[in-house]
Amino acid sequence: MKVFLIAGARPNFMKIAPIWKEIKKHPAEFEALIVHTGQHYDYEMSKSFFEQLVLPEPDFYLGVGSASQAYQTAKIMVEFEKMAIEDRPDLIVVVGDVNSTLACSLVAAKLQIKLAHIEAGLRSFDRSMPEEINRIVTDVLSDYLFTTCQDANNNLEKEGIGKEKTFFVGNVMIDSLFSNMEGVNNSLILKRLGLEEKIYALLTLHRPSNVDQKETFLRILEAIEEIQKEIKIVFSVHPRTRIRIKELGLDEKIDSLSNMIVVEPLSYLDFLRLTKGSKFTMTDSGGLQEETTVLGIPCVTIRENTERPITISEGTNVLVGTDTEKIVRECLVVINGGGKRGRIPKLWDGKAAKRIVEKLLEVDSLAGC
């Protein structure tokens, strides 16, 4: 069975790595090919992820680059369709909810190629988020839906997607986390930044709802200004956020925060080391909500909603929105010794990829490919 594994943005690399490794254990049944769309990073910029995750160079590189939602999705579709027609796979595997996921799913459906969605069924129930549209459409088009939690299964059932297509397998992001823990512990990022464990908070921001509107971004920064008076903050700046800071004229505001260290995007292992060593995180990232839950790190999520409610009901996550006072109040709770102490959700055990591949081997319709 020829399988295309699709990756385009940073979180995708961590999700396809354990699947690729597990598929390679079955050379008689699978031929796995990695397709890098270049949605967020060209190959050179993403090379550290491939090296640290022990992935080979991509078999195909589309090089689409950053652009508007419509243009980027369309360009991926055009380039991926050519490839899929010329080197037709038996199965296309997409992960997460980025534009690459939606674009390749549409191509798979129109070419009538079997489609598997890893991390299916997650819902924020906020259709103003581009990712929510990507998730919904991909799930409707998919032949096989692999979920991280029971909430996701329930969402798919309510949307009329048959149970026979849905498989609860766990979280492949956590597979990568567990398998790379030795490398994480060997990272020297804390030493390079002059930090010690638990004396700092980690901050990430990248969602359009937070960084595209000056009023909202300022509310968040006003909260950060108060919090950094109590604890050092490490702000890992997403390339998209860096552009918005300049466009919105917020450089001086950022520079005025004397107890905050601003760092450029980090490698996978260095970023996880920063996460693991932090007292708490402040973020609008989906993946970081999951990783902090497994690591037992309190997570203050600067969003009005989340597609990962299990990180709240079972994990260490708290939603605070973008209200300045609420952000400050929740962070002070953690600084003063509070914060949630959650537990690791069911099947977030480092074996999700194994269950995915086992299920693919079981599916009768794929056995004849």
Q: Kindly report, residue by residue over 245-255, the tens digit of the pLDDT.
A: 999 999 999 99
Do 270 and 132 share a structural domain? no
pLDDT at residue number 65: 80
Do 362 and 307 share a structural domain? no
pLDDT at residue number 46: 80
Burial of 365 (0-12, 13-18, 19+ CB in 10 A): exposed
355 within a domain of the structure (yes/no): yes
Do 363 and 303 share a structural domain? no
20 within a domain of the structure (yes/no): yes
10 Å Cβ neighbour count for 214? 13
Please state the separation of Cα 288 from the chain's center in Å.
Answer: 7
340 within a domain of the structure (yes/no): no
162 within a domain of the structure (yes/no): yes
215 within a domain of the structure (yes/no): yes
Q: Which of 84, 61, 65 is nearest to 74 (CA)?
A: 65
341 within a domain of the structure (yes/no): no
What is the tally of structural domains in the chain? 2
- DSSP SS3 for 252: helix
Residue 227 has pLDDT above 60, yes or no: yes
Do 149 and 69 share a structural domain? yes
Active-site position among 26, 40, 206, 238: 206
**Start-to-end CA span in the chain (Å):** 6
Residue 151 has pLDDT above 70, yes or no: yes
Do 136 and 204 share a structural domain? no
- Give the mean pLDDT of 335-348: 95
Do 132 and 10 share a structural domain? yes
Do 318 and 296 share a structural domain? yes
Q: pLDDT tens for residues 242-281?
A: 999 999 999 999 999 999 999 998 999 999 999 999 999 9
Q: pLDDT tens for residues 13-57?
A: 999 999 999 999 999 999 999 999 987 766 666 888 899 999 999
342 within a domain of the structure (yes/no): no
**Which CATH number is 17's domain given?**
3.40.50.2000
- Give the mean pLDDT of 191-214: 96
pLDDT at residue number 239: 86
Residue 346 has pLDDT above 80, yes or no: yes
Helix %, strand %, coil % for the chain, to 5?
A: 50, 15, 35
Burial of 141 (0-12, 13-18, 19+ CB in 10 A): middle
H or E, element range at 317: strand 317-319
pLDDT at residue number 48: 87
Q: At 182, is the pLDDT very low, low, confident or very high (cuts 50, 70, 90)?
A: very high
Q: From CA 117, how far away is CA 190, in angstroms rounded?
A: 36
Pair 333, 320: CB distance under 8 Å:
no
87 DSSP 8-state letter: T
Pair 141, 115: CB distance under 8 Å:
yes
Tokens at residue 250, please?
Answer: 């917020």
Q: Which of 194, 341, 200, 332 is nearest to 279 (CA)?
A: 200
Q: From CA 63, how far away is CA 193, in angstroms rounded?
A: 33
Q: Is 206 assigned a catalytic role?
A: yes
Q: Which of 102, 93, 104 is nearest to 134 (CA)?
A: 102
| Mean pLDDT of the residues in the chain | 95
pLDDT at residue number 327: 98
Q: pLDDT tens for residues 85-141?
A: 999 999 999 999 999 999 999 999 999 999 999 999 999 999 999 999 999 999 999
The residue assigned the tokens 């103003």 is 128
pLDDT at residue number 224: 98
Do 244 and 139 share a structural domain? no
176 within a domain of the structure (yes/no): no
Do 324 and 298 share a structural domain? yes
Q: pLDDT tens for residues 293-302?
A: 999 999 999 9
Do 122 and 265 share a structural domain? no
Residue 7 has pLDDT above 90, yes or no: yes
pLDDT at residue number 172: 98
Do 185 and 147 share a structural domain? no
Do 166 and 137 share a structural domain? yes
Q: Which domain holds residue 51?
A: 2-171+348-367
Residues contacting residue 233 through CB under 8 Å, at least 6 positions apart:
200, 201, 202, 203, 224, 227, 257, 259, 260, 261, 282
Q: From CA 217, how far away is CA 236, in angstroms rounded?
A: 15
Q: At 156, is the pLDDT very low, low, confident or very high (cuts 50, 70, 90)?
A: very high
Q: DSSP assignment of 156-218, as one string?
A: HHHTT--GGGEEE---HHHHHHHHTHHHHHH--HHHHHT--TTSEEEE----HHHHSSHHHHH
pLDDT at residue number 60: 96
Tokens at residue 102, please?
Answer: 């939606």
